[in-house]
Structure 1
Amino acid sequence: MTKFISTRLQVIVAASALCILAGAPAVAPVQARAPAVAPFGGDIADFYRGRGGAPLWFAPNAGPAAQQLLQLLASAQADNLNPRRYDVRGLARAVDGARSGDPGALQRAEVMLSSAFVAYARDLRHDPGVGIVYVDQELKPAPPSARELLIAASRAPSLGDYVQQIGWMNPIYAKLRQALASRIYHSPAESRLLQLNLERARALPAGGGRYVIVNPPAARLYMYENGQVVDSMRVVAGRPDPIAQTPMMNAFIRYIALNPYWNSPPDITSRKLAPTILKEGRAYFTKRGYDVVDQFGANAHVLDPMAVDWRAVAAGRVKVNLRQRPGPANSMGKMKFMFPNAAGIWLHDTPEKEKIEDAARLESNGCVRLEDAARFERWLFNGRAPSPKGARPEQKVDLPQPVPIYITYLTAVPSGTSIVYFDDFYGKDRAQARRFAAL
C-alpha cells in the first residue's frame, strides 16, 4: 500500500508540474514573501521541464529532504543570513498542505521548496571579503545558477543526505555550520570563532575533483579527492610578523621547478646573510653556493660579490639580489611547486627537516615548506613524478592538469564530531571580529 501511495504521489506531482510548465492555470499563483526567489522562476521551470515534470522534493526516494531543508532555512542565522528571507513559515504550511495529496498543493510546495533552496544555496556562495587573494578568478566563489544547483541536487545518491550535509558547500563549511547551529561550543568566545571561521570557509571549494588546502594555524597541508582527504602532511608556514605571514590565497598549481634556485628576500639578506658574509668574505659564496645577480629570473647575470658594500647591505641602506644555486643546502630543496602570483608565494621542499618536527611551525618567510615534497609531487602527477634531467637549474615541468590550491586561515577545524581550535598566530580573528563589530 505504501508503494502504491508513493507512486501515485509522484504521478500527481509530475502532472501538476507539467501543467505549470505548459502554462495551464492549474492553481492560482502563490504570493511569495521572499522576493529573492522570484528571479529564478524561469530557470526552475526549465529544470522541471528537463525532467519531464518529475518532482524533486516529493519524489518517492526524496526521504526527509523537504523537512531537512526547512530546518536549514530556519537556522539560516548561523550562516549570517536572515531566515525570514526564505519565508520558512510559508514553506512549512505549503509542505503540510501537500500531505493532503491535492495536486495544486503538491505543485505549490514543490516549486516553493526549489525556489527557497536555490535562493539559500546561492546566498551561501560568495567572496567572504576577508582578504583572500584570488590569483585565478575561476576560484573565487560565485553563486551557481538555479539549474546547476537543482541538477546537482537531483543527482545526489540521497537528497536527504545532500541537504543535511549541505552538499553544495565544502565539507569544512558544513561541519562548522552544524556546530554553530547545534550550539556545539563551550563559550561565547568559541561561538564567535566558529562564526569567523565559517566566513573564511565560504571560499573553499564545493563538489568533487582534486584540490589542496593549506592551513597555517594547523601547520598542515591536505590533499582532497572527491570531497575527501586522501593524504596530508606537516608544513612550515610564514612567521607571525606582518612581512612574513603566508597570505590567504586561491590559485592553480600549474608546474613544478626541479633543481630550483633560492632567491633570498631582502630582509633575510640584510639581517642574516650579510653579517656572515662580512665575516667570511668570498669564501662564503664558494662554500654556500650563493651568487650576486643583477636581477632574479631567467635573464639574470652573475656579478662580483666583493664589489658590494656588505656593511651597507647589513645596515639596510643598500639592497642586493642574492641567489643560492641548487644543491644539498639550497633552501628550496629539490623542487618547488608554482602557482605564479605577485606575492611570490609557493610550496617547496626543504633541507631543514628538523624544522618540520617543531611544535610551532611558523618560521618561513611566507612560502610553505613541505614535510615530504616527493610524496606531494607523486600525488600531483598521479603517481608518475618527473625527475630532473641533469643538473640544469630551474627545470620546469607542467602538471598534467592544474590543481587548485586554497591557502586558508582556519583557527577552528572540524575533527570527527568535535571542533579543534588553534592559536590566532596572525591576529586575523581579532582583526575580523573588530571589522564585523564595526558594521
Structure 2
Amino acid sequence: MTGRRLSLLLFAALAACGRSPEAPPQHREARPAAAVSLPPVDVAPEIAAFYAARGNRPLWVTSAGVRPGADRAAALLAHAADHGLDGARYGAAEVAAALAGARSGDPAALARAELLLSRGFTMFVRDLRTPRVNPMLQAEEGLAPRAPAPRALLEMLAAAPSLGEGVAAATRMNPLYGALQRGYARWRTAPHPAQEQARALLNLDRARAIPADAPRYVIVDLASARLWTVENGRVGGPMRVVVGKPGMKTPLMASRLTYAVLNPYWNMPPDLARERARRVLKQGSGFLAAGGFQVLSDWGETARPVPLGAVNWRAAAAGAEALRIRQLPGASNVMGRIKFMMPNRLGIYLHDFPDKSLFTRDDRRLSSGCVRLADAAALARWLFRGAPPRPEGSTPEQRVDLPEAVPVYLTYVTALPGEKGLDLRPDPYGLDATRIALSDRKRSRSG
C-alpha cells in the first residue's frame, strides 16, 4: 500500500470520527473546519498491514488530537542522542512538527502525524534493542537480543493497558544498559575527544547485546573481572572473578548455564602439560604425585592411568608426544569443588578456585580463559534457587542439572556511571582500541 493511499484512508477514518453524531462532545468540538494538503508518508509494508488489520483506525491520535503516549514516544525520538542514536534517522523533528500541526484536529495533519510516529518509533525501538555489531559469540540460538518486528510492536502498543505503558515496555532495557545510558546522557553534555566518545558508544552497544526481557541471567564483565546476577531487573553482586590472561583472553560470549559438576577433575591444557614435562626433567615427577596429578593414556573416556615413570617426559616437553595430565578432585584441585557448565565450542566455563588470594588483586587477568569464582557457593545457591547440590560421597565428576538453564553473558565494560555521568576505565584486552581503529580504517576507505 502506498503512503498516499494509507494517508487517505487514515484521513477518512479520522474525518468520519469527527462527523459521527455519537462522538463524545470533546471530539465534536475538535472537528476541523477544513482539511489541509500534506505530503504522504511512505511506510513499510508491515506498518501498512497493521493499519489494514484494524480498519485503518489510528494508534497515536484520535479525532480530538494527540494521545499522551504519542508525546512520550516523540520525546524519545527527540532525545535519541541520549542513547547514542541519531534522532534524524527517525524523523524526530518531522514528528514533532507533525504532532504540533495535528493538535488543530485537522484529519490530514492527524493522519500524517500518525504515520510519521509509527515509522519513526518502530525504527527507534529496533535500533535501541539491537547492537550495531554484536561482539558476543552466540553459543546457542535465542540468546541474542531481538527487536520486535514493526507490526508486532504496533500490535503490542495497541493491546497495552495504556499507550504510555506500551511505549515504556517497548523501550525498557536491561539494568546494565539503563545505568550506562543514564550516565551517558549526562556525560555527553560536555565536550569530549572523539576517541572517548567512540569508547562510550561502544559500551552502550555492548550493553544492547544483553536482551531486555530475560528474566534471570548472569553477567560477567571481563574488563573489571566481576560478576552479577540479575533476576526480574534486580541486580545481585558484584562478585570478584579471575578471567583470561592477555595471551589467553576470555571471549565475549552468550551461552546458557545448564548443569554443575561436583568433585570435578581438572584436565591440564596441553601448553601447561608441556611446561610441567619440562619441570619434571629438571626436578623429577614427585611434585605431580603430591599435587594429585596423574597421566592418562589418551583423551578418550576409557583412558587409563600411566605410571609416571613410564612417561617419555623428554618427548612430551618437546611437544613431540601428546600428554594428558589430569588432577584428581580434592582441596587443591584447580577447579575447586564445583564447576558450572555452558555449551560452547571454546571450552569456557565458570568454576570454583582454591587460592582465594588471587581475588584480592586489582589485576585479575590470570586464567587460561575460564572464569574463576571468588564465591562459587554463593553462585550455586542462586542458580539452584537456594538449594545448592551436595556431592554424594567422593565420586568424581558428579553432574547435577540446574532447575532451568540460565543465560550467561560474558561482556566487556570499560565505562561506568560516575560523578560526571560516565567514567572511562582501562581497556585491559585492548578491545576498545581495536574496534575504534577498525572503524577508522573503514571510514578512511569509504571517504
Q: TM-score, normalised by structure 1?
A: 0.82
Partner of 2:251: 247
Contact 2:294-2:327 at 8 Å conserved across structures: yes
State the Cα distance separating 1:38 from its structure 2 match: 1.6
The separation in 1 between residues aligned to 2:289 and 2:411, in whole angstroms, is 39
Contact 2:264-2:397 at 8 Å conserved across structures: yes
State the Cα distance separating 1:264 from its structure 2 match: 0.8
Give the match's secondary structure for 1:139.
coil
Contact 1:221-1:232 at 8 Å conserved across structures: yes
Partner of 1:132: 136
The separation in 1 between residues aligned to 2:426 and 2:401, in whole angstroms, is 36
State the Cα distance separating 1:249 from its structure 2 match: 0.4
Give the match's secondary structure for 2:223.
helix
In 2 relative to 1, CA 157–45 (structure 1 residues): closer, same or farther, beyond 3 Å? closer
Out of 256, 264, 274, the position equivalent to 1:260 is 264
Give the match's secondary structure for 2:219.
strand
In 2 relative to 1, CA 199–211 (structure 1 residues): closer, same or farther, beyond 3 Å? same
Q: How does 1:38-53 map to 2 (within 5 A)?
A: 38-42=44-48, 44-45=50-51
The separation in 1 between residues aligned to 2:284 and 2:161, in whole angstroms, is 68
Q: How does 1:179-218 map to 2 (within 5 A)?
A: 179-180=183-184, 182=186, 183-184=188-189, 187-188=192-193, 189-218=195-224
State the Cα distance separating 1:47 from its structure 2 match: 8.1
Out of 239, 260, 267, the position equivalent to 1:233 is 239
State the Cα distance separating 1:410 from its structure 2 match: 1.4
The separation in 1 between residues aligned to 2:358 and 2:160, in whole angstroms, is 44
Q: How does 1:1-400 map to 2 (within 5 A)?
A: 16=14, 31-32=40-41, 37-42=43-48, 44-45=50-51, 55=60, 62=69, 64-73=71-80, 75=81, 78-79=84-85, 81=86, 83-126=87-130, 128-129=132-133, 131-150=135-154, 167-180=171-184, 182=186, 183-184=188-189, 187-188=192-193, 189-241=195-247, 244-271=248-275, 273-279=276-282, 281-296=284-299, 298-400=301-403
RMSD: 3.5
The separation in 2 between residues aligned to 1:17 and 1:298, in whole angstroms, is 76
In 2 relative to 1, CA 370–155 (structure 1 residues): closer, same or farther, beyond 3 Å? farther
- How many residues align structurally? 412
Q: Which amino acid aligns with 1:97?
A: G
Give the match's secondary structure for 2:427.
coil
Contact 1:197-1:412 at 8 Å conserved across structures: yes
State the Cα distance separating 1:293 from its structure 2 match: 1.8
Higher alpha-carbon Rg: 2
State the Cα distance separating 1:180 from its structure 2 match: 4.4
The separation in 2 between residues aligned to 1:313 and 1:84, in whole angstroms, is 63
State the Cα distance separating 1:307 from its structure 2 match: 2.4
Residues 259-268 or 122-131, more deviating: 122-131
Contact 2:61-2:67 at 8 Å conserved across structures: no
The separation in 2 between residues aligned to 1:236 and 1:184, in whole angstroms, is 36
Contact 1:47-1:151 at 8 Å conserved across structures: no
Contact 2:350-2:372 at 8 Å conserved across structures: yes
Q: Which amino acid aligns with 1:31?
A: P
Partner of 1:6: none
Give the match's secondary structure for 2:89.
helix
In 2 relative to 1, CA 53–106 (structure 1 residues): closer, same or farther, beyond 3 Å? closer
In 2 relative to 1, CA 130–141 (structure 1 residues): closer, same or farther, beyond 3 Å? closer
Contact 1:239-1:245 at 8 Å conserved across structures: yes
Partner of 1:9: none
Task: Identify unmatched segments of 5+ residues in structure 1.
Answer: 1-11, 20-25
Q: Which amino acid aligns with 2:40?
A: Q
The separation in 2 between residues aligned to 1:401 and 1:392, in whole angstroms, is 24
The separation in 2 between residues aligned to 1:210 and 1:124, in whole angstroms, is 21
The separation in 1 between residues aligned to 2:316 and 2:282, in whole angstroms, is 14
State the Cα distance separating 1:353 from its structure 2 match: 0.5
Q: How does 1:398-417 map to 2 (within 5 A)?
A: 398-414=401-417
- Deviations 1:185-211 (CA, angstroms, capped at 9, x unpaired): 663142121022223222112124001
The separation in 1 between residues aligned to 2:109 and 2:263, in whole angstroms, is 68
Contact 2:47-2:151 at 8 Å conserved across structures: no
